[in-house]
Amino acid sequence: MNLIKIYFTRIAGWAVLAVAGDVSAAVTYTGLDGAQEANARTVMPLAAAECTAARWRVERLFKDADKNLRSALEALGYYDIEISKSLSFEEECWQASLDVKVGDPVVLRNVGIEIVGGAAVDVEFGSLVEANKPSAGRILNHGQYETYKTTLLSSAIARGYFDAEFLRSEVIVDPDKYAADMRLTLSSGPRYRFGEINFTEGILRENLMLGFTDIRSGDFYRSEAINSLYDALNGSTYFGAVSISTEPLDEEQKTVPLDVELQPGTRRIYSIGAGFTTDTGPHGRLGYTNRRRNDKGHQFESQLFASSVRSELSATYRWPRRDPRKEWVNAVLGIQHEDTDTSERDTYKIGIQRSRSLGKLWLETRYIDYAVEEFKVGDQDTNSELVILGINWESARGRELSRVTNGLRLSFDVHGASDALLSDTSFAQFNFTAKWIHSFSEKIRILARGTAGVTAKENLTALPVSVRMFAGGDRSVRGYDFETLGPVDADGLVIGGSNLLEGSLEFDYLFKPQWAVAVFADTGSAFNNSDVDLSTGAGLGVRWYSPVGPIRLDLAHPLDDPGTSVRVHISLGLDL
């Protein structure tokens, strides 16, 4: 019996399935499938030789070609092969051909994988052992087994088995029976634990720093926990640079030190900007942010937005809770003036918000706002005082400055006020917004949007303008002016409604990098009770995906008012 014992530590250089690069037209193969030929060309020096190579070199490489070919096919489990080859030298180039007859492959007969040491009772590591485990009945592929071996060892180290080593690693091939036996024994040794955790001092308090990680001294080592800590610190805006070291290991105590070196990020940021949208006209923006007011991680942000339609001055003071990755509290103060074609209002608001992450996809925000509003709408000129309690859930996947290929954004908001709780009136309101983006190809995508709002109220006229529902504008029903769709009073003036329903469907085509054309249709309106009278607009648009985000130019025609000319809409902002 002709047995071949192969120790994997000695065949690390064996080729695995590879993508062939540029191949010389001077070498041709027959009798091989695509994977076999690709591996043959990868390991055969003859296949890479040029037409200008010296004759003696080509002849030497040709002499070794069958040996190289056998190695390439044996790596894929084919040991029974017959090779016929020929070489000729033409005036322009040499030509080599290899005709191969490939027999049946060698199949794994017995597979024995043994784990000894601490990892033998590690359930999570056991699942890693089973993943992509070689199994009896499969064609022998040395490259796949090398990959499995490497993955197994790296997985052990990632879980803290730093002393892991293979006690046995071999494949015994019986070519006569087209069978092979694999034996693999991994000794993991004990699992290391996290040792002392040290953060750079003088930036944030240690108890706040520990809030960025679930790691505690004495916990079993996990590399993913370190990756999560790095991501949390790097994304916190507190730090300009993050470096985490786990060396040197304490081999006696079997512990891993954790030294987190941090550089403080830019503390104060000032911003200024200007722009134009159809809804607000020309506008300017000033901003100031203090990302680290103290070592407790408190932050402050203020913004001034000014335009002929809407102006706002806001300030937010925020601080982290026990887990700065998931939970924050915001104290907000704002003054807003809005003067549209249908209403005018001045709103003064102070509030407190508590936000926390629900898993990886959702953000929940609970809030209490005290708002005083002076407003004019229709023939009504009055003021309102409300204490609003609410809760919001939001999820967004795919929000980015560039062109989004696939994404989804959902928002649910429930809030209300009671005249028994320092408010002029009682109401409850529910708002829902959804936007979905899906690409059919690199250039074509669909954008769908839906909005719904429902208000339970005692008296609509008692509600301030900021709580009423309006439709129309750049981000609503294009083809109609900003907030001009909704119920009207006896004089025909839009006064807003208690309910809202909107829908939009848009297709766009990327005709050159950063530029797209779009066709769209929007419908919707504000209304009271169930008296729905939707208005529809449709049109064409151009999109420029600028460095500051998408800028949109839309030409929309109001289909419910054919005599009205096409309206131009200019807007900017993220797709989601």
Find the farthest-apart pair of alpha carbons in the chain and give their distance in angstroms, rounded.
104
Architecture category of domain 107-187 in CATH? Roll (3.10)
- Omega before 248 within 30 of 0, i.e. cis: yes
Task: For residues 532 and 333, give the distance between their C-alpha atoms in angstroms, rounded to a whole number.
Answer: 36
pLDDT bracket for residue 565 (50, 70, 90): confident
Amino acid at 132: N
pTM exceeds 0.85, yes or no: no
pLDDT at 24 over 50: no
Q: What percent of the chain has pLDDT over 90?
A: 81
Pseudo-torsion of CA 416, 419, 424, 425, nearest 10°?
Answer: 60
**Mean pLDDT, rounded, for 6-31:** 51
Distance (Å, rounded) from C-alpha 234 to C-alpha 225?
14
Cβ neighbours for 447, distance < 8 A, ≥ 6 positions apart = 435, 436, 437, 504, 505, 506, 507, 508, 575
* Interval 319-370: pLDDT, tens: 999 899 999 999 999 999 999 989 999 999 999 999 999 988 999 999 999 9
Report d(CA 319, CA 351) in Å as an integer: 14
Q: State the sign of the Cα–Cα–Cα–Cα dihedral 77, 83, 87, 92.
A: negative
Residue 257 has what pLDDT? 95
CA distance 441 to 447: 14
End-to-end CA distance of the chain: 68
Residues 369-390: tens digit of each pLDDT: 999 999 999 989 999 999 999 9
Q: Which residue do the tokens 């954008």 mark? A: 447
- Which tens digits make up the pLDDT trace of 509-559? 999 999 999 999 999 999 998 888 899 999 999 999 998 889 999 999 999
pLDDT, mean of residues 423-427: 93
Report pLDDT for 14.
41
Domain 4-102, CATH: 3.10.20.310
CATH architecture of 193-264: Roll (3.10)
CATH topology of domain 268-572: Porin (2.40.160)
Mean pLDDT of 132-143: 91
More confident residue, 434 or 89: 434
CATH 3.10.20.310 boundaries in the chain:
4-102, 107-187, 193-264
**What pLDDT does residue 4 have?**
52
What percentage of the chain reaches a pLDDT higher than 70?
A: 96
What average pLDDT does this structure show over 463-490? 93
- With a cut of 70, say whether residue 99 has pLDDT above it: yes
Residue 3 pLDDT: 53
Mean pLDDT of the chain: 91
Q: How far, in Å, CA of 196 to CA of 217, rounded?
A: 6
| Residue ranges of the chain that CATH labels 2.40.160.50 | 268-572
Residue 349 is predicted with a pLDDT of: 97
Which residues, including other chains, have CB under 8 Å from residue 151's CB and lie 6 or more apart?
Answer: 128, 132
Q: 17 falls in which pLDDT band (50, 70, 90)?
A: very low
Per-residue tokens: 215: 């790691």
pLDDT of residue 448: 98
pLDDT at 273: 92
- pLDDT interval class at 7 (50, 70, 90): very low
pLDDT in tens, 232-276: 999 999 999 999 999 999 999 999 999 999 999 999 999 999 999
Q: DSSP letter at 528?
A: S
pLDDT, tens digit, for every residue of 32-86? 999 999 998 888 899 888 888 899 999 999 999 989 999 999 999 999 999 999 9
CB half-sphere exposure, 341, CA atoms < 13 A: 19
Confidence band, pLDDT 50/70/90 cuts, at residue 573: confident
Encoded tokens for 388: 């609003």
Q: Say how far apart CA 119 and CA 117 lie, in whole Å.
A: 6
In 3D, which of 317, 388, 311, 375 has the Cα closest to residue 349? 388
